[in-house]
Amino acid sequence: MKYGIYMLHLLWACLSGCGQPVEHKEVTVPEPPPEIVIYDEPLVLDVTLPEMRLTKNFKYDKYTLADKYEYNKKERSFKWNRIKQYLLYIENMQKTDRQWVVIQNYKNKNQEAPAVFNFKRNEYDLVCDTLMVEKFQSAPLYFPDDTLNAIIYARDGNIAEFKDSVGTFLRIRPVGKEEDWFIPSRYVHFLKPGIKFRYAVFIDRGDQNIATLKHISRAHWDILSMNPATTGQYLPPHAKETPLGVFIIQEKKEKMYFWKDGTREIGGFAPFASRFTCGAYIHGVPVNLPAKDPIEYSWSLGTIPRSHMCVRNATSHAQFVYKTMPVWETLVIVLE
C-alpha cells in the first residue's frame, strides 16, 4: 500500500458505514468496517509510516510499565506500531486547514436522537443502530439527499470536518469516513479555527494500559507516560465497556460524583476526571462514601475491565492528565 493513510481495527467504528442515498422505504444500512480501511480522500501525504518516530520523554514516571510485560502469565504490551498508524492519520488529516467540529449530546442535552431504520435493542434494553451504537447520548446521521430518515448514530465526543450548512443541517465528514453525512446543527460544537491536535491519549482495552503523547515536530511525538489502567466492563444492566474509537477531551471535573447503581443516590467521587465521550472519564481511583480521603493506587489497575465505562488510573496519573492535556485539543483513542 503506497503511502496510504492507515486506519486501525474498528477505527472510529461508531461512525462507520458506506451506504448510498436511498428512497425513504428502501434504506440500506451500513455494514461494520473491515479491519483495515484506506482513507481515500484526495490528499498529498506529508508524513509516511516509516517516518513516524516516538521518543520516551516521561513527564510522569510513577508506575511506568515496560513496552512488553506479563500479566497472569500472558504477555501484554503497548501497541506502538498501531499507535504510530493512528498518529500518522492524525498528522496527515491536519496537513491542510479545516474547520473541525465535535459531536455532542451528553445525557441527551441537545435532544434525544430519533430511532434509526432497522434499530435494535441491546442487553441494556437501549435502542441501537446496526453497528450497536446506542441512541442515548448520540447524534443521528443522515444521507445527504434524505434528511427525514436517520441511518446511523455518531457518539458524543467524536470529531468531524465541517463542510457547509444546508438549512438546519450541517454537512460533515466524520474522521475516518470516506463520505459526507448530514447532521442537525444542534448536535455540533465548533472548535476554534486553525486548531491543531498536539496531544493524544491511547487507551488499550485489551491490555489494560494507557499512554499519553505530545506532538513535537513533523513525524515526531514524545511519550509522556506509560501506565496501567482499568477500563469499563460489559455487565448489564449498569456497567458498560469503554467504547472503541477516537474522541476528544470535552470537559474536566476535579471531583466527578457518581451514583450508586440503579439509584439517584451519590455513591462517591472519582478525582481528576477528564470526560471524552458520553459518561466516560479518565479519572483516578474512586472513593466510595462515607470515605473522603483520596486513594492513590488500587491493586485492580491494569488487570481486567472493572469500571462503569470510565478509565481508572492511579490518582496522580489522572491528575497529570487533568493538568497536562488541554480540553478541545487532546484526542483520546480507545483501541484493543
Tens of pLDDT, residues 212-267? 999 999 999 999 999 999 999 999 998 999 999 999 999 999 999 999 998 999 99
Lowest mean pLDDT across 28-37, 40-49, 98-107, 293-302: 28-37
219 vs 2, higher pLDDT: 219
The pLDDT of 16-44, averaged and rounded, is 36
pLDDT of residue 188: 97
pLDDT of residue 262: 87
Q: CB neighbours (10 Å) of residue 53?
A: 14
Pair 43, 98: CB distance under 8 Å: no
106 vs 38, higher pLDDT: 106
Q: Where are the domains of the chain?
A: 13-17+33-45+98-190, 49-94+196-335
Lowest mean pLDDT across 43-47, 105-109, 156-160, 285-289: 43-47
The pLDDT of 164-180, averaged and rounded, is 92
For 200, phi and psi rounded to 5 degrees?
Answer: -145, 140
Q: Is the pLDDT of residue 20 over 90?
A: no
Pair 317, 211: CB distance under 8 Å: no
pTM comes to 0.86
Lowest mean pLDDT across 26-35, 73-82, 171-180: 26-35
Q: Is the pLDDT of residue 328 over 80?
A: yes
**pLDDT tens digits, 265-309:** 999 999 999 999 999 999 999 999 999 999 999 999 999 999 999
pLDDT of residue 45: 65
Maximum CA extent, the chain = 59
83 vs 178, higher pLDDT: 83
**pLDDT tens digits, 146-156:** 999 999 999 99
Q: Identify the CATH number of the domain defined by range 49-94+196-335.
A: 2.40.440.10
List of residues 6+ apart from 67 with CB closer than 8 A: 77, 78, 80, 226
The mean pLDDT value of the chain amounts to 88
The grid coordinates of residue 155 equal 457518539
The pLDDT of 316-322, averaged and rounded, is 98
Pair 86, 173: CB distance under 8 Å: no
The grid coordinates of residue 241 equal 465497556
